[in-house]
Amino acid sequence: MTRRVIQFSTGNVGEHALRMLIERPDVELVGLHASSPAKIGRDAGELAGLDVTTGVLATDDLDALVALNADCVVYTSQAETRAQEAMAEIAAFLRAGTNVVGTSFVWLVAPDQADEWLREPLAQACADGGSTLYINGVDPGFSGDTLVYAALSVSGRATAITVQEVFDYGSYDDAEFTGVSFGFGEDPGHTPILFLPGVLSSMWGAQVRDLADLLGVELDEVRERHETWVADEPIDCTMMRVEPGKVAAIRFAVEGIRDGAPVITMEHVNRLTEAAAPDWPFPPEGRPGVHRVKVDGDPGVEINAHVGTDVADHNQGGVIATAARAVNMINAACEAPSGIVAARDVAPSDHVPGLMW
């Protein structure tokens, strides 16, 4: 069945989602939202960077898009920094009976752990419209859910689980959001948004708590740790120039503690050059990035996932993979019962149909 789909935004992730929607034979692109005045009125093919004319023009008219009565919206607009507006946009579709898959509001990757102010209105909108909402990405998302479930499924007993993103962000073009919120290029004494108390726990801790819940493990506490590494010489990378003495790598984790020891850890090591932070973990085989799950147990299991091994570099691959986590769930979201669903509520194979044509 061909699903009628709207793409909402054409930013870093949205541009790739849009390209998938244009190219996939099992979806029909029927609408496109853009907020930037420079994009409004332009053809979806052009905004996706494709040499095709789709006849679908970008608009900022939310009511007109809702009135299209599409099967699904792929929502990839910036949400964390404009929560009320993004909630209103998503809820308008859900209330009208249009399903939403997306990458925005990373807290909803583990919806049962999300704060009530976010979860309740969106759950109500799903109930009002009989619709479904699914939010995911690569990290948080895939690395802390599907990848972990795959590793745990071949372990007889698990004593500790560590999920890592170890990524060189040197080629990542996102100074405004990642650069600012991670504190790259800043003085080490500066506290970026990510390191404000509770932020890591809400963004990555939700998957720690969700996994503990799934495993039936009672955690004593969920705690955060973070550290920075400063450049000793100037570093030029895609998102910025880092002067000596400024932050060029960060390492942070959220740990679920039982009996005084971490049993579920979600950790990031992000550098702006491979020369940064030589004592911190690196991806295997000299690669620039990895999403890794390590299960201590009987047997221990380790899975190293590398996105962007083909046409894209690893950062581009991560963004495309994030778009794919949403786009690949369109059909399943259309068939799922009403409500907010998570990766643990669907079969891993639900992300697969329609992918090879």
Ligand X SMILES: NC(=O)c1ccc[n+]([C@@H]2O[C@H](COP(=O)([O-])OP(=O)(O)OC[C@H]3O[C@@H](n4cnc5c(N)ncnc54)[C@H](OP(=O)(O)O)[C@@H]3O)[C@@H](O)[C@H]2O)c1
Tokens describing residue 257 = 């503690």
String marking each residue 64-83 x if it binds ligand X according to CB under 6 A:
------------xxxxx-x-
Nearer to ligand X, 231 or 254 (CB): 254
Q: Does 131 help bind ligand X (rule: CB under 6 A)? A: no
The first and second tokens of residue 93, run together, are 């579709």
The strand pair at 99-102 and 72-75 is best described as parallel
Distance, CA of 306 to CA of 328 (rounded, Å): 18
Among residues 5, 6, 7, 9, the one that binds ligand X under rule CB under 6 A: 9
Q: Which of 2, 36, 124, 191 binds ligand X (CB under 6 A)?
A: 36
* DSSP state letter for 232: S
Q: What is the DSSP string of 324-356?
A: HHHHTTHHHHHHSPSEEE-GGGS-GGGG-TT--
Read off the tokens for 180.
Answer: 């600012």
Among 129, 141, 288, 317, binds ligand X (CB under 6 A): 141
The correct pick among 7, 113, 164, 322 for binding ligand X (CB under 6 A) is 322
Q: Among residues 13 and 250, whose Cβ is nearest to ligand X? A: 13
Q: Which residues contact 146 (CB under 8 A, 6 or more apart)?
A: 343, 348, 351
* Contacting ligand X within 158-217 (CB under 6 A): 177
Which position among 92, 138, 264, 340 is part of the footprint of ligand X (CB under 6 A)?
138
299 preceded by a cis bond (ω within 30 of 0): yes
- State which residue has the least CB distance to ligand X: 137
- The answer to the question of residue 104 lying near ligand X (CB under 6 A) is yes
Name which of 75 and 229 has its Cβ closer to ligand X.
75
The residue behind tokens 């009565």 is: 69
Binding test (CB under 6 A) with ligand X, winner from 3, 5, 7, 13: 13
Site for ligand X in 238-277 (CB under 6 A): none
Nearest distance from residue 304's CB to ligand X, in Å? 17
Q: Could you say which of 3, 5, 6, 12 contacts ligand X (CB under 6 A)?
A: 12
> Taking the CA atoms of the chain, what radius of gyration do you get in angstroms?
20
- Least CB distance from residue 104 to ligand X, whole Å? 4
Cβ contacts of 159 within 8 Å, gap of 6 or more: 263, 296, 297
Tokens standing for residue 81? 């920094």
* Closest CB to ligand X among residues 139, 255: 139
Give the residue, chosen from 137, 256, 289, 308, that forms a contact with ligand X under the rule CB under 6 A: 137
Residue 96: C-alpha distances to residues 56, 70, 112 (Å): 21, 10, 23
> Can you give the binding site for ligand X, defined by CB under 6 A?
9-14, 34-36, 39, 76-80, 82, 103-104, 106, 137-141, 177, 322
